Amino acid sequence: MKIGIIGAGNIGGNLARRLTSLGHQVAVANSRGPETLADLAAETGATPVPVGEAAAGAELVVVTIPLKNVPALPKDLLADAAEGFVLLDTNNYYPRERDGRIDAIEDGGLTESRWVEQQLGHPVVKAFNGTYAQDILDAPRPAGDPERIALPVAGDDPAAKQLVRELIDALGFDTVDSGGIDDSWRQQPETPVYGLRAGVEGVTGALAAASPERPANFRG
């Protein structure tokens, strides 16, 4: 698959490592420009590109940057993506440490991913947001392994969600369908599933145990 990754930090870098090793054709971008990604390119074979070119021809576009920077992405970011492309959102809202207050999330009642989707103008699938970046490299296990970790995946488009679930399976993780994007508060920061290393049963139970109320320390 042709994949564009916007963000080359903890998550974007490790997804580039694993996705290239599975044989996908990966373009990767950060905020400072492709010349700053030479080491990652040499290590993985991913192609560093300016952010405006990251989605060109991509069947899957991953946005994995600090949430507050999403509105600053180029307005035509996704214009040249492949027909029917899937947009994967790994992001979290950290109002106090990083992102500042976003009223539409806190007062408007939008889930973090619904807000991202509105900024980018394309439906998203939410996954990896509660996964330790290092686990992308260290935790993969074959299907059927009793120690295999499961990741929650939210999205409104069944086909897009299925594509992401199959990719995550190929990366070495089980998945649990966590519902639509309006339900994706169940996997936001400080919910029981956030950062949980458990299998399908544990993740399913943690999603069910979540409370929709935004925790006080995740308010700006």
Ligand X SMILES: NC(=O)c1ccc[n+]([C@@H]2O[C@H](COP(=O)([O-])OP(=O)(O)OC[C@H]3O[C@@H](n4cnc5c(N)ncnc54)[C@H](OP(=O)(O)O)[C@@H]3O)[C@@H](O)[C@H]2O)c1
72 binds ligand X (CB under 6 A): yes
By rule CB under 6 A, what string of x and - marks binding of each residue 87-106 to ligand X?
---xxx--------------
187 binds ligand X (CB under 6 A): no
86 binds ligand X (CB under 6 A): no
Out of 3, 5, 12, 184, the only residue in the binding site for ligand X (CB under 6 A) is 12
Given the complex with ligand X, which of 22 and 72 has the nearer CB atom?
Answer: 72
**Alpha-carbon span 191 to 194, nearest angstrom:** 5
Cα torsion angle, 154, 159, 47, 35, sign: negative
Angle at 133 between CA 106 and CA 97, to 5 degrees: 35
CB of 156: closest distance to ligand X in angstroms? Answer: 20
CB of 91: closest distance to ligand X in angstroms? Answer: 3
CB of 157: closest distance to ligand X in angstroms? Answer: 21
For the chain, helix (H) and strand (E) counts, in that order, are 7, 8
Cβ-closest position to ligand X: 9
What are the backbone angles phi and psi of residue 4, rounded to the nearest 5°?
-110, 125
66 binds ligand X (CB under 6 A): yes
Question: Amino acid letter at 156?
Answer: D
**Alpha-carbon span 82 to 36, nearest angstrom:** 26
Give the end-to-end CA distance of the chain in Å, rounded to a whole number: 39
CB of 206: closest distance to ligand X in angstroms? Answer: 16
CB of 51: closest distance to ligand X in angstroms? Answer: 4
132 binds ligand X (CB under 6 A): yes
175 binds ligand X (CB under 6 A): no
**Among 152, 150, 202, 196, which Cα is nearest to 172's?**
150
Mention every residue, 6+ apart, whose C-beta is less than 8 A from residue 74. Answer: 51, 52
Given the complex with ligand X, which of 9 and 109 has the nearer CB atom?
Answer: 9
Cβ proximity of 217 and 96 under 8 Å = yes
Per CB under 6 A, residues contacting ligand X are 6-12, 29-32, 51, 64-67, 69, 72-73, 90-92, 128-129, 131-133
